[in-house]
Amino acid sequence: MADKPKTPGKWRIPPQAAAAFTIDEFCAAHRLSPAMYWKLKADGRGPREMQVGRRRMISAEAAARWRRQRERAAATA
């Protein structure tokens, strides 16, 4: 007898994309080592950061902008 697929309860909210990343989360999401992140930042090629309290965060929009910039740079190289 085949198992019936489980249906999520009404209270479950579908997962959403992150609105902002910590630097570690950004590195994990973009498969960068932290060392490479800091090298890119030192070279002026890192994403725009924002200060949230004592934390530095990268908005989803800034991450998308950074990816487009990296794609353009790769295409012209």
Residue ranges of domains in the chain:
20-76
pLDDT at 10: 64
pLDDT at 5: 60
Q: Which residue in this structure is represented by tokens 């932290």?
A: 34
pTM recorded for the entire structure: 0.77
pLDDT at 18: 79
Q: Check if CATH label 1.10.1660 holds for domain 20-76.
A: yes
Each residue's pLDDT tens digit, 18-40: 799 999 999 999 999 999 999 99
Average pLDDT taken over every residue of the chain: 88
pLDDT at 8: 58
Over range 47-55, report the average pLDDT.
96
